[in-house]
Structures are given as C-alpha cells and as structure tokens.
C-alpha cells in the first residue's frame, strides 16, 4: 500500500514503461507562483489599469494584462537508507542513481521512434521521417494529494549528501521547478473544475458565517 504522503512525477507519453518518480513529500515545502504582467497600450489609462465604474466594465479594465502560467517549486528528499538496511540489493549497489537518472531523462529531449514510442533523442534511435527526428521535451503529470497537473520540468537542482564507498549517492535533496501546462487538456480542465467547486465551497461557508454573525 502506497504511503499517503507520496508524490509522483509520471511521464505522459508512449514509452515503455513511462518514466515515473515516486517521492516522500512534505507539503509545507511547496511554493506556488503565479504572476501578472501589465502592459498598458496607448489609450489613456490610470497607473494600474483603465477607468471603470460598473462590474460589466471589468473586461476593459484588464486590457493589456497577461497572466503567466502557474509554477511550483518543491523540495524532495531521495533517501534509500531504509531500503539498504532492509537488505535491498539494488539500493546497496546503486543507491539513488536510478531516481536521479529518471529525473535527468525527464529533462532531456525526446525523439519519436517506431510505433510512436518516445525515447531519448541522444540515443539516435528515432525514426527516419523528419517529424520523428524532431526533439521535444517531456510532458509530465505532477500527482500531489487531490491534484493531477500536467507540467514541464523546468529545473532540477540536486545536492548529494551521503555516498557509498563506491561514491554512489544514497541520499540527496532535490529542488524541482515545475510549470503547469494550462490549456484544453483533460488534466488541467479537471483541476479547474475541482478548483471552482472548492472556491464555491469557501464562498458558501464565508457567506453562511457572515449571515450567522448578523443574527
């Protein structure tokens, strides 16, 4: 049975098998970022936006405003000490190298091979057709609690802290930067439905508390 505190990164691609990384995860170490870029045009405007009076005018107020995709910065711990103590031969031999190599493979460009299967383009095993030689980045699914978000892995920062006598690492802290792929894909659309329902729950609870306070 999987530990409920685990998170996952899963490659969303035709590959055998899809790249997958499971990790112990502390939600207190997650940072979510969203930024808004304001570039006003030549039309006269106030310092922060356009003049308005009614709610129906808010679309005009926000002209020239661009919303950047949401991103996540997370810190995870990769540690096979327990598996080594339990006698796991793989952990005792290669430590966390399989996990680190999975992250490296998630970051590297892919090419399309026979049957549409994706593989590392550096292997040179892509198909002969021009579109099969094109290099693409991996689309990943970030699974965290009730969230399943499509993301690009933008950055990986690994700090190895413990090594076997062979210099193979068996403990490391990894910082990941993920950018959400916002658009008409089934995972993001499902997240937006969940988000809207959760926001409505909060609004209803707030309204009920306010009405109760007036009595």
Overall number of domains in the chain: 2
Domain presence at residue 42: no
Residues 116 and 204 in one domain: no
Residues 114 and 154 in one domain: yes
Domain presence at residue 61: no
* Residue 191 structural domain: 184-215
pLDDT digits 0-9 by tens, 17-67: 788 999 876 655 788 898 888 776 555 566 666 778 888 888 877 777 888
Residues 208 and 136 in one domain: no
What is d(CA 215, CA 212) in angstroms, rounded to the nearest whole number? Answer: 5
Q: Is pLDDT above 80 for 112? A: no
Residues 16 and 77 in one domain: yes
Q: Is pLDDT above 70 for 123? A: no
| Residue 147 near residue 27 (C-beta atoms within 8 A) | no
Residues 78 and 152 in one domain: yes
Q: List the beta bridge partners of residue 141.
A: 10, 150
Residues 127 and 104 in one domain: yes
| Residue 172 near residue 100 (C-beta atoms within 8 A) | yes
Domain presence at residue 39: no
Higher per-residue confidence, 30 vs 113: 30
Domain presence at residue 189: yes
| Residue 139 near residue 13 (C-beta atoms within 8 A) | yes
pTM of the model: 0.78
Residues 128 and 195 in one domain: no
Q: Name, in order, each residue with C-beta under 8 angstroms of 93's C-beta and a sequence gap of 6 or more.
A: 168
Residues 141 and 215 in one domain: no
């Amino acid at each position: 049975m999987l530990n409920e505190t685990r998170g996952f990164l899963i490659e969303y691609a035709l590959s055998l098998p899809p790249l997958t990384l499971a990790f112990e995860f502390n939600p207190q170490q997650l940072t979510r970022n969203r930024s808004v870029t304001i570039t006003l045009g030549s039309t006269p405007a106030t310092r922060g936006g356009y003049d308005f009076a009614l709610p129906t005018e808010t679309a005009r107020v926000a002209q020239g405003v661009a919303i950047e995709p949401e991103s996540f910065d997370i810190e995870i711990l990769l540690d096979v000490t327990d598996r080594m103590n339990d006698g796991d031969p793989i952990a005792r031999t290669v430590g966390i190298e399989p996990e680190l190599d999975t992250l490296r493979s998630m970051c590297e460009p892919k090419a399309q091979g026979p049957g549409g299967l994706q593989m590392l383009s550096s292997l040179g095993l892509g198909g002969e057709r021009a579109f099969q030689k094109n290099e693409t980045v991996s689309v990943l699914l970030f699974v965290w609690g009730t969230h399943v978000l499509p993301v690009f892995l933008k950055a990986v920062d690994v700090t190895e802290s413990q090594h076997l006598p062979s210099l193979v690492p068996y403990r490391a802290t990894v910082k990941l930067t993920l950018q959400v792929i916002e658009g008409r894909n089934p995972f993001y659309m499902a997240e937006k439905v969940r988000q809207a329902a959760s926001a409505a729950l909060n609004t209803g609870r707030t309204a009920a508390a306010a009405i109760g306070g007036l009595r």
